[in-house]
A and B are shown apart, each in its own frame.
Chain A
Amino acid sequence: MTALLRVRNLTTSFTTESGVARAVDGVSFDLGQGETLGLVGESGCGKTVTALSILRLVTEPPGKYGAASRIEFDGMNLLELPPRELRKVRGAQIAMIFQEPMSSLNPVLTVGSQIVEAIRAHEATAKRTATDRAIELLTMVGIPEPEHRFKDYPHQMSGGMQQRVMIAMALSCGPKILIADEPTTALDVTIQAQILDLLMDLKARLGMSLLFITHDLGVLAGVADRVAVMYGGQIVEAGEVRSIFEQPAHPYTQGLLRAVPRVDRPTNELQGIPGAVPTATEWPAGCRFHPRCSQRIDRCQSEGPPEITTDSGNVTRCWVATSAGAS
């Protein structure tokens, strides 16, 4: 698969009162044409900052990208692109939707006018044409009576409808990549199902690539082709969705899968992972998961593990997996 987007050694840090927070620390991955890559992890693991960094939406300062970091798209390094060139990519070729549609929409403008504005920001289009296109987009994302809803203000819509509007806006310029950051987390489960169906359908119809960020392993299992598991600002394991769920190599991935309850099976004891996610100003030395890891060996406390490929094809960073694989 040809990579449409290559992220290489992405490091995004923030200067804070309590020191430098290395929110994302050496993340590399590829996003293929038409592929859905699921980025999964708990709060504070760096998933959202990774997404924001791809579009260079992190405010500098206090944010700072590492000197060796590269976001390669269409032959360019987005981290070095002049602002004018960056604007041609951001929102047009790579678009993004967020968890809280209400805080992304302008409350004093109608949703229609906001979509029109998004279209005209990237293309010299007559207002009439842009309006027609906006109504077309609202139809495409499944909003009933689009001509009427065009004139609604965001607060007149439900959360599900607002998220549909955000999707319409994101698709307005026909992006090649859609970054969806927890797009259904704030929604009720039946509405979540509708929005996931819509995203998967649009992705297939429009041939987009999707970077899907979630903390929900259930949602992930349903949408992702490949999965990258983040912990402590790093990707600790990545692979095909089936081998991540069926043959997880990293103790953190294994722990997450044991902690998540399933609706389709009666009770087995849930197993939490002891402790809590560390903060980005104080990542533990060695493997960042070692204080919570039940399988740790001496080496884990002092030395960061290298990346290895397991038999099932997962790429992981773990000393225990390294010694088990013994390659």
Chain B
Amino acid sequence: MTTPEPLLRIEHLVKHFATSRGLFDKGDPVRAVDGVSLALSRGETVSLVGESGSGKTTLGRCILRLTEPTSGTVSFDGVDVLALDGADLRALRRRMQIVFQDPAGSLNPRMTAGTAVREPLEVHGVARGAEARTRVDALFDEVGLDPSLAERYPHELSGGQKQRVGIARALSIQPEFMVLDEPVSALDVSVQAQVVNLLVDLQRARSLTYLFIAHDLAVVRHITDRIAVMYLGKIVETADVGPLYERPLHPYTVSLLSAVPIPDPTASRNRVALPGEMPSPRRPPPGCPFHPRCPHLKKDKRCSTEAPPLREVEPGRWAACHLAEEPMNHAPQPSTGGNP
């Protein structure tokens, strides 16, 4: 938010899904994304984290217009993304790509790995024939796939190999920006680490800008520069990764971080237990959407009546909480003592 010219700027983005529950109940809309503003600088990784139903995936899809937002603005390198159509939108999509969680579901089962990577080159008229083949070989090499795998179909590849194909396909047309929607969640831990490292290497080599969408806060800590925590369609806290993990300001972030299991049987577990479950985005609670579950001891009437705006609590640290300056009367750290 300090950089003058972000590559991607999202302002007041809203996506409501209309619902109907029958003849007499028109139903309230599902407020999947409910007024989100976010800016990404070139070369930066920003992570969107939150639990299922927080709106993080919908937000990612709205940016690429895979889902049409209800209102708000998205501008990419100065271009109003929501105003584009036809050829202009397609031209812009060359610069913005997405990698999905389930590599098996996002690859065509009847298309070999090599064809899957070559297809975008031809669709976007980047390269054909021998030139395309050379590029595919180079991409396979870049994502760590043996060239002999090009003839294989998705079902003949492991989960990690499929995800590498998905990444190579997204990279083929040389995008500047990638939405990575839970790209390692379906992978086993030994393979997940390989793919996380690959994504980090690719970003450095190609100066990519990432929007990394994930629910796993441990993985996020290892890949991101900045983080935005979502709850019920809203960003409740955003900051650089270090400060946010070391001293979260929003009570939801505190609870969320403290719930992440630590692979160390001697780690102290100062969990801030969160009662109940996330309410339906169809009927978000009045006031602060988190107030019914909030463990903050100083929670008061204002929390249930007045929605807290996302405000800069400290330089570079934004939180949507009336009590962000008040220390929570909980040990907020999930970590063991003595960590740097």
List residues of A whose CB falls within 8 A of some B CB.
42-43, 158, 160-161, 188-194, 196-197, 215-222, 224, 241-242, 245-246, 255-267, 269-274, 276-277, 292
Contact = CB atoms under 8 A, between A and B. Distances in A.
A263 B193 contact: no
A228 to B, nearest CB: 15
B335 A265 contact: yes
B54 to A, nearest CB: 9
A221 B265 contact: yes
B190 A267 contact: no
A188 B273 contact: no
Contacts of A218: 218, 260-263
Contact of B260 (A189, A217, A273): A189
Contacts of B161: 276
Contact of A271 (B188, B193, B260, B339): B193
A241 B263 CA distance: 11
A245 B273 contact: no
A105 to B, nearest CB: 18
Interface in B246-271: 255-257, 259-267, 269, 271
Between B52, B216, B260, B335, the greatest number of chain A beta carbons within 10 A of the residue's beta carbon is seen for B260
Given A43-B188, A276-B191, A262 B218 contact: yes
B160 interface: yes
Chain B: number of interface residues, binned into ranges:
35 or more
B207 interface: no
B52 A188 contact: yes
Contacts of A242: 265-266
Which 8 residue pairs of A and B lie closest in terms of their CB atoms, listed nearest first? Answer: A218-B261, A272-B194, A264-B335, A272-B193, A273-B190, A42-B188, A188-B51, A217-B263
A255 B335 CA distance: 22
Nearest to A144: B276
A256 B219 CA distance: 14
B51 A189 contact: yes
Contact of B257 (A246, A263, A266): A263
A272 B278 CA distance: 34
20 contacts: A43-B159, A190-B256, A191-B277, A193-B273, A194-B274, A196-B261, A222-B262, A256-B190, A257-B263, A259-B189, A261-B216, A262-B262, A263-B260, A264-B339, A265-B335, A270-B196, A271-B193, A272-B197, A276-B158, A276-B160
Contact of B267 (A158, A264, A266): A264
Contacts of A197: 273
Nearest to A276: B158
Between A161, A193, A194, the greatest number of chain B beta carbons within 10 A of the residue's beta carbon is seen for A193
Contacts of B260: 189, 218, 263
Contact of B190 (A188, A190, A255, A263): A255
A219 B261 contact: yes
Contact of A270 (B193, B216, B266, B278): B193
B334 interface: yes
A190 B262 contact: no
Contacts of A245: 263-266
Nearest to B293: A190
Given A190-B255, A241-B265, A267-B221, A256 B335 contact: no
Given A221-B265, A256-B189, A270-B222, A160 B277 contact: yes
Interface string B179-190: 000000000111
A219 B269 CA distance: 12
B39 interface: no
Nearest to A244: B265
A189 B222 contact: no
B242 interface: yes
B318 to A, nearest CB: 21
B307 to A, nearest CB: 22
B261 A215 contact: no
Contact of B188 (A257, A264, A277): A277
Contacts of B273: 193-194, 197
Contacts of A277: 158, 188, 190
Nearest to B246: A266
A193 B161 CA distance: 32
Nearest to B277: A158
A158 B219 CA distance: 26
A143 to B, nearest CB: 12
Contacts of B221: 261-263, 265-267
B105 interface: no
Given A217-B189, A272-B197, A276-B158, A263 B245 contact: yes
B30 interface: no
Contacts of B158: 276-277
A297 B111 CA distance: 40
B317 interface: no
A260 B194 CA distance: 11
B147 to A, nearest CB: 17
Given A197-B273, A263-B245, A270-B196, A221 B259 contact: no
Given A245-B266, A274-B194, 6 more contacts: A190-B256, A193-B273, A193-B274, A194-B273, A245-B265, A272-B194
